[in-house]
Amino acid sequence: MRKGTRLALIFATIPFLTLVFALPFVNRIEPVILGLPFVLFWILLWVVLTPAVLWAAYKIEKKHNPPGDEDRR
């Protein structure tokens, strides 16, 4: 696997860590943030941050994977 893709994959674990594996630790109402119960706030926060995470992954992948050396199938 090319280096850029490997780095991008590391970024991509962030939504899985926050939105799946962190759920048992955030399943509560307090503290209420922006009027939302904490668990809903947490989920919403990471849903909205995911485009930023993916955008960073995109930039890093582009930087480390020079065009033209694609592996052919």
Partner 1 sequence: MNAALLIILATIVCSAVVGIYAGRRVKMNLENWTVGGRRFGILIIWLLMAGEIYTTFTFLGASGWAYSKGAPTYYILIYGTLAYTLSFFILPELWKLGKRHGLHTQPDFFIRIYGSRFLGVLVAVVGILSIIPYLQLQLAGLGMIVEVSSNGAIPSRLAILLSFGLTCAFVYTSGIRGSAWVSVIKDVMMIVAVVVVGLGVPRIYFGGISNMFRSLISQRPDHLVFPGAAPTMDTLWVMSTVLLTGMGFYMWPHVFGSAFSAKSDKIIKRNAIIMPFYQIPILLVLMVGFSAFLVLPGLKNGDLAFLELVHKTYPSWFLGFIGAAGAVTAMVPASILVLFASTLLAKNVYQAGFNPGASEATVMRLSRAMVLVITTTALVFALLLPNALVNLLLIGYDGVSQFFPGVVLGLFWKRVRREGVLCGLLAGLAIVVVLVFGRHDPFLGMNAGFVALVVNGAVTVGISLFTRPGRHY
- Kindly list the residues in this chain that would bind partner 1 in the complex (CB under 8 A): 5, 8-9, 12, 15-16, 19-21, 23-24, 27-29, 32, 34-37, 39-40, 43-44, 46-48, 50-51, 53-55, 57-58, 73
Instruction: Give the integer Cα–Cα distance in Å for 27 and 42.
Output: 9
Measure the CA–CA gap between 28 and 51, rounded to whole angstroms: 25
* Least distance in angstroms from the C-beta of 38 to partner 1: 9
Residue 5 Cβ vs partner 1, minimum distance, rounded to whole Å: 8
